[in-house]
């Protein structure tokens, strides 16, 4: 039986991002993240999968080990609230530094979502993406999942209008992570 998943951006979606975070001791979950992920995982049985661009690796600002330590710390913090991420995927490349063959994984490409779907037997038609950027929404749309813009950075209506003008309207926009999770729970229950 195929699973449903919630794909999640990492930086400024799950955790506060000061920019190329390398110190796992500085990891701080954003408000509502632990409660929301607990709800999705334990009450609705969603797989929780992070898909994240981490170009700081190719830029030489952070290492793969730094990214993995931050990811481990995220799960350690979530476990205190009865939740955990099932899998972390990240793209370490950037087109300014790497070939197009390497950067195929980079959002807004759906590559990481499609790979995770294959690895975890996920039904994308019943899955969701939560992220704080235009590339997250485009990635979700490109993968065929419902997309939620977590407006943590207080996007101007002009930026949201650019998405809409390009025919890439998010299914839901909120500045409250728990509200995003409640939206998914309600939408899932209606299907």
Question: Is 151 a residue whose pLDDT tops 90?
Answer: no
Give yes or no for a contact between 30 and 180, defined as CB atoms under 8 angstroms apart. no
Domain of residue 18, CATH code: 3.40.50.1000
Residue 24: give the domain boundaries. Answer: 7-127
Residue ranges with strand state E in 1-125: 5-8, 47-53, 87-91
Q: How far is CA 155 from the centre of its chain?
A: 17
Q: Which of 166, 20, 29 is nearest to 94 (CA)?
A: 20
17 among known catalytic residues: no
Arithmetic mean of pLDDT over the chain: 94
Q: Answer whether 77's CB lies under 8 Å from 85's CB.
A: no
Tokens 């087109």 found at: 95
Q: Tokens in use for 108?
A: 């807004």
141 with 124: CB under 8 angstroms?
A: no
Confirm whether 49 is domain-assigned.
Answer: yes
| Structural domains counted in the chain | 1
Is 35 a domain residue? yes
* Active-site residue flag, 136: no
Which residues does residue 169 pair with via DSSP β-bridges, in sequence order? none
Q: Lowest-pLDDT range, 12-26, 73-87, 154-168?
A: 154-168
User: Do the Cβ atoms of 148 and 183 come closer than 8 Å?
Assistant: yes
Q: What's the pLDDT at 130?
A: 97
Residue 151 covered by a domain: no
- CA–CA gap between residue 50 and residue 36 (Å, rounded): 15
167 in a structural domain: no
Given a cut of 90, whether residue 191 has pLDDT beyond it is no
**Residue 80, in any domain of the structure:** yes
Is 2 a domain residue? no
| Alpha carbon separation from 86 to 17, 44, 72, 138, 159 (Å, rounded) | 21, 14, 11, 23, 32
pTM for the complete prediction? 0.95
Say which residue, 158 or 180, is predicted with more confidence.
Answer: 180
40 assigned to some structural domain: yes
Residue 153 pLDDT exceeds 70: no
> In percent, how much of the chain has pLDDT > 70?
96
Domain membership flag for residue 116: yes
Alpha carbons 164 and 159: distance in angstroms, whole number = 9
Mean pLDDT score, 129-148: 95
What local confidence, expressed as pLDDT, does residue 163 receive?
78
């Amino acid at each position: 039986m195929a699973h449903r998943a919630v794909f999640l951006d990492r930086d400024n979606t799950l955790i506060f991002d000061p920019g190329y975070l390398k110190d796992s001791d500085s990891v701080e979950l954003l408000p509502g993240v632990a409660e929301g992920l607990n709800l999705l995982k334990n009450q609705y049985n969603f797989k929780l999968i992070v898909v994240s661009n981490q170009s700081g690796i190719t830029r030489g600002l952070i290492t793969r080990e730094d990214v993995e330590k931050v990811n481990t710390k995220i799960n350690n913090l979530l476990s205190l609230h009865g939740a955990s991420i099932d899998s972390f995927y990240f793209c370490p490349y950037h087109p300014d530094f790497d070939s197009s063959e390497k950067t195929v994984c980079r959002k807004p490409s759906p590559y990481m979502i499609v790979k995770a779907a294959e690895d975890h037997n996920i039904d994308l038609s019943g899955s969701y993406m939560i992220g704080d950027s235009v590339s997250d929404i485009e990635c979700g749309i490109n993968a065929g999942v419902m997309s939620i813009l977590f407006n943590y950075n207080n996007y101007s209506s002009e930026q949201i209008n650019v998405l809409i003008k390009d025919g890439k309207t998010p299914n839901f926009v909120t500045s409250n992570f728990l509200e995003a999770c409640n939206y998914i729970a309600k939408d899932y229950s209606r299907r």
